[in-house]
Amino acid sequence: MVFVSEFSQDRFMPQPVSSRELTVRGLIIGALITVVFTASNTYLGLRIGLTFASSIPAAVISMAVLRLLGGGSILENNMVQSQASAAGTISTVFAVFPALILVGHWARFPYLETMGLTAAGGMAGVLFTIPLRRALVNESSLPYPEGVAAAEILRAGHEQSERGARSDGLVTLILGTVISAVFSFASGGLRVLSDGAAVVFTSGSAVFRLSTGFSLALLGAGYLVGIAGGLAMLFGYVLSWLIAVPWLTAITPNTDHLAPAAFATWVWMHKVRFIGAGAIALASVWTLGELAGPVIRGVKDALTSRVGVATDNRDLSPRTIGLVAGGLFVVVAGLLTVFLLPFTSHVIVPVLFGTVFLFIFGFLTAAACGYMAGLVGSSSSPISGIVLIATVLVSSFMLGMDYVGLLPAVFSANGHHLAIAFTIFILSAIVASAAISNDNLQDLKTGQLVGASPWKQEAVLLLGCGIGALVVPPILNLLYQAYGFTGALPRPGMDPARALAAPQPAIIAMVSSGIFEHNLDWTMISIGLVLGAALIVLDRVLKRRALSLPPLAVGIGLYLPPAVSTTIAVGAGLGWWLQRRMGRTEAEAGAGTMIASGLIVGESLMGVALAAVSGLSGSDSALAVVGSGIAPWDTILGCLAFVCVCWWFVVRVRKTTGTCM
């Protein structure tokens, strides 16, 4: 996604002397938005492996609320969106922690370890970005698309507030949220609406499956992903369920005599997903390789950057940074120790390795992710590639230390179970650090453009990480107990079709376990690597014709459940059609973006609420008012309701003009 900015150096907004910036009410509003977007992104991430950018919806909500309270300034709004953005990003730990469930090490998410490592990793990411700010933000020509777009929105909202213009952005966001929450309650709670439809048919011994979903969150996610990403994921579905699954079901013996649908699902889970993992790995590494030169230059510039002392360009003091970094080092070491002590008292070597690796690799990752975010945007920055590289590095280092006798024997016992679990635990902090680094430089760019005080913004980013980390463990526990993850259900008798896909944790568990146990399915992974190479070539050919087919999105489409990819494609197609009919690209904070964000937030929050009901009642169908006898009417009603929401989406966007501030 590319944003066209009118900002230039002479349009940087100097900080008004009388403007309020860091206020108590701003911190409270930011904290409340933080809880909402952390919960929403955690749910969405576990379901489809993607999250939505929280900066722009947070900015719209902040401007509307502060306008009602009176006296809000652009600087105060910027602080609120910075805090909420950091917390929405910290939820990226959903990509790692569930892997500890999948490998059988945890049966739940312990609050202290999960919250502590999430907060420490995220705060370390903030610290890593501070010395990079001048080199990669102030003294760089990087475009920072999301950061510039957020600044445009804050500036436009500030100008409208001064003119007394009416704000429609919050109303539109709330409408989307309410509609999505009601739809989700009817489908996931009352069970009167189906959440999807599928048709399975055979040709000889080959099994085909046509699927679609009725999830409004996925509809909104597809709208935000855009047509290129949506079509790429749809292509991944075609490769998976219309080519790979039929081919493999035709040549694989059905020794357990499963029904066609069940056999096709088994083949997809145990074979086709490995193809998707291979394609994702190669696409991620290729993207990193393409940016290797700029990243190296960015790191070099960051390390040689001079530290200025101007009041409007002041970072947190070196003393503060040193004290916070020292405290985080101790906290991380302590949490790693707590993780290992139930199994061994010989913790010094592995704890030192994990802590030092986090700080060294974390800083390099911060520079790489920060540069990529500035170059192509946070949404397009391949964090998944960084995670896969970190998984291979940590696993390989741990395996090497075990071979030379630096680790106690318990690490290699039971198929290296403790070594695998400890590797995943270290990775969780690295992921939090990388994700925050990827996002924070965008926020600091926004702050630079609107005249914010860098040190205040950095303090708020640290606070956002802490607040977001507080709600991550209970949300993870609620979602796991209510839905389970694909391949790991907390209770017998649960419906595996409603389990959360958790794609990134599954890949991390598969890769780390495979390295230690030497049992990766290299045949399927190799096919995925070859496919990834072909997709890279195809994408480069298409780019010469001003087209695109992102290889990473194709791999994700292969890996995710079929209804996910097709529904995201519907949302992407809806956005493309609206833009063509309206004859312009919609403003970043336009009605469509607000509705899409609301659809995601509504279903996500309702999903968390239903998870709480399920946890209290001990049943995942406690609110269901009908049994299975309603079929197929639930599918028909679900389809009609989904179509009606799509129609309302179109009507609302076409009737709304301007930037929907």
More confident site: 107 or 278: 107
Percent pLDDT > 90 in the chain is 21
| 312 phi, psi to nearest 5 deg | -85, 10
Q: Is 642 helix (H, G, I), strand (E, B) or coil?
A: helix
- pLDDT for position 580: 82
Looking up tokens 């990766």 gives 520
Looking up tokens 């009603």 gives 637
- pLDDT for position 145: 59
Token pair for 430: 């690295």
Lowest mean pLDDT among 313-317, 357-361, 530-534: 313-317
- The one-character DSSP state at 210 is E
Confidence bin at 63 (pLDDT 50/70/90): confident
Please report which helix (H) or strand (E) contains residue 234, including its range. helix 227-237
Please report which helix (H) or strand (E) contains residue 389, including its range. helix 383-403
- pLDDT for position 584: 54
Mean pLDDT of 339-362: 90
The DSSP code sequence of 61-115 is: HHHHHHHHHS---HHHHHHHHHHHHHHHHHGGGGGTTHHHHHTTS-SS--HHHHH
The DSSP code sequence of 414-472 is: HHHHHHHHHHHHHHHHHHHHHHHHHHHHHHHHHHHHHT--HHHHHHHHHHHHHHHHHHH
Please report which helix (H) or strand (E) contains residue 221, including its range. helix 216-225
List, for residues 576-590, the tens digit of each pLDDT value.
Answer: 998 887 765 554 557
Token pair for 627: 């049994």
- Cα 455 to Cα 447: distance, rounded to the nearest angstrom: 10
- Cα 223 to Cα 576: distance, rounded to the nearest angstrom: 8
Cα 186 to Cα 30, 341, 603, 624, 637, distances in angstroms = 30, 46, 11, 9, 10
In degrees, to the nearest 5, what angle opens at C-alpha 508 toward C-alphas 286 and 246?
Answer: 80
Cβ neighbours of residue 257 closer than 8 Å, sequence gap 6 or more: none
Which residues make beta-bridge pairs with 488?
A: 485
- pLDDT for position 242: 93
Position 617 pLDDT exceeds 70: no
Q: Are 151 and 123 in contact (CB under 8 A)?
A: no
Residue 520: count of CB within 10 angstroms of its CB: 17
- pLDDT for position 204: 86
Confidence bin at 373 (pLDDT 50/70/90): low
- pLDDT for position 18: 43
More confident site: 633 or 389: 633
Confidence bin at 246 (pLDDT 50/70/90): very high
Position 5 pLDDT exceeds 80: no
Residue 25: count of CB within 10 angstroms of its CB: 15
| 488 phi, psi to nearest 5 deg | -150, 100
Position 660 pLDDT exceeds 50: no
Mean pLDDT of 585-609: 72
Please, which contacts does 491-499 make with residues 24 or more away whose CB atoms are closer than 8 Å? Answer: 494/620, 495/620, 498/188, 498/620
pTM over 0.95: no
| 201 phi, psi to nearest 5 deg | -140, 160
Structural domain boundaries in the chain: 19-304+318-661
Looking up tokens 């090497």 gives 400
First to last CA, the chain: 20
Q: Are 170 and 604 in contact (CB under 8 A)?
A: no
- pLDDT for position 140: 62
Lowest mean pLDDT among 22-26, 68-72, 76-80: 68-72
Looking up tokens 């933080």 gives 34
